[in-house]
Every structure is written in structure tokens, then in C-alpha cells.
């Protein structure tokens, strides 16, 4: 879902270790009755052999905790891409090393995607849905960015009286600060004096109608007269806060048409990845890939 792509998530363009119905298991070749060495063939991709030694080399190179089957899936997909690159005329393959084949295959993938996926071709309805789900980024009142020092209350923190007294002390000292750096440094000094209890935190910009933060905190933020100002202690269910306004951003009312290109550019990399996945699905379906499961039970230490 696109709404998940704006925050995180990165897909591998070449390897996907999930089980795939097009990766077919097969009995061992008659010439390989006992899979006892790293020379054992563990899979064939259109007749091209992948050996246990290839799996070991990949694991040593990646230094990743992968099973033999997971590593094999990576190698199968790389081989499929390499063969597709050859089919399309990329390189004189008879004299090219395996690493070069994979490199060219990835270049093919990038080229194929770049031609087919552009900001102008993205699904309009999906972009509009993404706009609605993130509308507060584009339509909002005045925003304020703040940092705050929290003196918590509760079982593993301070009592009501202790927290109120410490917050008052912090607010008095913070009234002498004029910069964010000075405010944070002040908070760190109190944090050091009360480890694991007092915390200093920077928050992203938010508007006066924000619902993510508790109401007293939002009201306390917008009661501060100007940027660079400090609040008196503000009480919430979390404890006592001393707030510093570091920046104020103007209100915005940007319609979908004004931000379509911005949204499209944000989701474009993920759509390219999706397109890469579609290419791999096609390759898996139309090529012959056989896995010799019995041969995967080899010992890494064997030579």
C-alpha cells in the first residue's frame, strides 16, 4: 500500500526469499546420488547449474545469517535476470564472469523500469487516496515546531510534588535561554542529574487543532507568545512539560493538483520496485527452474 511507502520500507530488486510456487523441487540427477560435496548441483535454471559452492560463496560475501534455501533463491533470481539480459543482447556472455553477469542483469532491470514507470503514468486514483491520507501535510493552520523537557510522574518517576518543583526550577532557568541549543543543553543537564527520568525531546511541526498530542500540551505550545519563547510548566497525564518554540511555519492550503507531482515523485521509487517484482514474476513463470532439495543438505566446512 502506498500509504506505507512514505515512512519506511525498502524492497530488494533482485532477491526475494519467500517461497514461490514456480520454484519446483526435483529428484537428484542420477549422476549425483550422494550430495556430499560443494560441487553438488543444487538447482538448474534453464539447464545452468547452481552448486553448493555458489551458495557458500554468496553467504561468505554477504555475511548474512541465511539458510541454504534462502541463498539459493537469491542465486536463482540473479541467474534468471542474467539470462534475460543475455536474451535481450546485453553483453558477450561467453567471456563474462558471473559477477559481471549479475551487474548487467541489474542494469537491465533498472533500464526496463525507467522506461515503463514515470510520474505521469502513476495511477491517479491511488495518488488522490494518498493525498487524502496525508492531507494534514498540505492543508493546515499555522504550525509550530517545539522541543520540550518532560518531568514525568508515576510509580517509576517523580511524585506530583517533586515533579512540580523540578519543572518550576527548569522553567525559571529556561526563561534565560534564547536559543534552541541553550534550551536543549539546559534540559540535558537536568537529564544527567536525574538519569532515566527527565527527558528532552524534539517534536515535528504541528497545528493548533492537532489530535496526536494531548490537549494541554498543544494549548501550552500555542499560548507561548513568539518563537524563542518558553512556557511555564504545563501539566499533562505524562507529567510536567517545559516547552520551547523553535520555529513557526505558515498555514497552507495546497490542493491535490498542486502537490500531485510531489506525491508522484515520492512513490515513484516504490512503484519501480513493484514493477521489478512483476518482471521477476514473469521470469519465474516462463523459465524452467528445478531445485534438488536433497542437495541442499551439505556441510559448509566441506571442500
pLDDT on residue 27: 56
pLDDT of residue 90: 62
pLDDT of res. 265: 87
Chunked into runs of 10 residues, the chain (303 residues) has average pLDDT values of 30 40 56 60 88 84 75 84 74 53 59 66 88 91 96 92 96 94 96 88 94 95 96 96 97 94 86 74 81 73 42
> What is the per-residue pLDDT for 103?
64
> What is the predicted pLDDT for the residue at 73?
84
- Cα(56)–Cα(298) distance, integer angstroms: 10
List domains and CATH numbers for the chain: 15-122+268-296 (no CATH), 139-250 (3.10.50.40)
**Residue position matching grid coordinates 510509580:** 155
Q: What is the pLDDT of residue 196?
A: 74
Amino acid at each position: 500500500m502506498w500509504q506505507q511507502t512514505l515512512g519506511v520500507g525498502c524492497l530488494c530488486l533482485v532477491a526475494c526469499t519467500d517461497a514461490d510456487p514456480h520454484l519446483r523441487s526435483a529428484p537428484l540427477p542420477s549422476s549425483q546420488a550422494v550430495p556430499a560435496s560443494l560441487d553438488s548441483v543444487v538447482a538448474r535454471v534453464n539447464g545452468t547449474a547452481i552448486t553448493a559452492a555458489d551458495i557458500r560463496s554468496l553467504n561468505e560475501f554477504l555475511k548474512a545469517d541465511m539458510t541454504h534455501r534462502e541463498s539459493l533463491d537469491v542465486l536463482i533470481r540473479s541467474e534468471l535476470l542474467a539470462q534475460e539480459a543475455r536474451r535481450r543482447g546485453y553483453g558477450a556472455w561467453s567471456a563474462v564472469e558471473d559477477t559481471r553477469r549479475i551487474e548487467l542483469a541489474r542494469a537491465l532491470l533498472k533500464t526496463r523500469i525507467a522506461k515503463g514507470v514515470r510520474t505521469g503514468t502513476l495511477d491517479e486514483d491511488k495518488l488522490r487516496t494518498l493525498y487524502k491520507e496525508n492531507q494534514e501535510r498540505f492543508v493546515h493552520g499555522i504550525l509550530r515546531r517545539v522541543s520540550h523537557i518532560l518531568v514525568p510522574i508515576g510509580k517509576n518517576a517523580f511524585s506530583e510534588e517533586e515533579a512540580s518543583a523540578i519543572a518550576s526550577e527548569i522553567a525559571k532557568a529556561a526563561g534565560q535561554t534564547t536559543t534552541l541549543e541553550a534550551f536543549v543543553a539546559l534540559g540535558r543537564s537536568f537529564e544527567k542529574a536525574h538519569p532515566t527520568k527527565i527527558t528532552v525531546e524534539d517534536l515535528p511541526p504541528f497545528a493548533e487543532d492537532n489530535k496526536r498530542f494531548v490537549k494541554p500540551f498543544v494549548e501550552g505550545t500555542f499560548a507561548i507568545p513568539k518563537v524563542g519563547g518558553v512556557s511555564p510548566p504545563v501539566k499533562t497525564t505524562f507529567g510536567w512539560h517545559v516547552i520551547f518554540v523553535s520555529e513557526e511555519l505558515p498555514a497552507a492550503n495546497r490542493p491535490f493538483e498542486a502537490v500531485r507531482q510531489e506525491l508522484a515523485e515520492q512513490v515513484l521509487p516504490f512503484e519501480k520496485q513493484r514493477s521489478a517484482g512483476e518482471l521477476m514474476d514473469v521470469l519465474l513463470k516462463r523459465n524452467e527452474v528445478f531445485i534438488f532439495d536433497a542437495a541442499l543438505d551439505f556441510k559448509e566446512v566441506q571442500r
